[in-house]
């Protein structure tokens, strides 16, 4: 879009209705279109301000919040806090073999 001021374009209501798509294209190009009725301006078609592309933010309402490094690391300590203290024997008694994730896939129906 040009930074120079653009001379407004004036069109009558009938012409605006007939050529609306072309007028919208001109507005997208930065032109201002004045719509007249009986020679009197009654409306304007103006370009929409161009929004700058923004990076996706995980916390839209807190745009300055930064996630700490390692925020998505799931450590053994996190597992203890999440699942509680369970020994391998407890997991096996619950039907899961902690040494074999094939058990988990089988329980989820992901294997034949």
Specify the higher pLDDT residue, 60 or 25. Answer: 25
How far apart (Å, rounded) are the C-alpha atoms in residues 30 and 33? 10
Q: 76 in helix, strand or coil?
A: helix
State whether 37 and 65 are in the same domain.
no
pLDDT beyond 90 at 88: no
Provide the number of structural domains found in the chain. Answer: 2
Question: Considering the domain boundaries, does residue 2 fall inside one?
Answer: no
State whether 63 and 102 are in the same domain.
yes
Kindly report the average pLDDT of the chain as a whole number: 76
Question: Considering the domain boundaries, does residue 30 fall inside one?
Answer: yes
Burial track 11-41 (b if 16+ CB lie within 10 A, e otherwise): beeeebeeeeeebeebbeeebbbebeeeeee
Question: Considering the domain boundaries, does residue 92 fall inside one?
Answer: yes
Looking at residue 94, the DSSP 8-state letter turns out to be T
Show the domain range for 73.
59-106
pLDDT beyond 50 at 2: no
Q: Identify the weakest region by mean pLDDT among 41-45, 60-64, 73-77.
A: 60-64
State whether 13 and 40 are in the same domain.
yes
Q: Give the pLDDT of residue 41.
A: 93
Q: What is the mean pLDDT of residues 36-64?
A: 77
Question: Considering the domain boundaries, does residue 15 fall inside one?
Answer: yes
């Amino acid at each position: 879009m040009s930074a120079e001021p653009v001379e407004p374009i004036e069109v009558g209501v009938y012409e605006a209705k007939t050529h609306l798509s072309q007028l919208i294209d001109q507005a997208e190009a930065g032109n201002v279109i004045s719509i007249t009725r009986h020679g009197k301006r009654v409306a304007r078609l103006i370009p929409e301000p161009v929004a700058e592309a923004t990076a996706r933010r995980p916390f839209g309402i807190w745009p300055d919040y930064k996630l700490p490094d390692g925020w998505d690391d799931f450590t053994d300590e996190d597992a203890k806090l999440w699942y509680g203290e369970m020994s391998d024997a407890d997991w096996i008694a619950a039907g899961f073999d902690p040494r074999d994730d094939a058990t988990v896939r089988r329980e989820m129906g992901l294997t034949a």
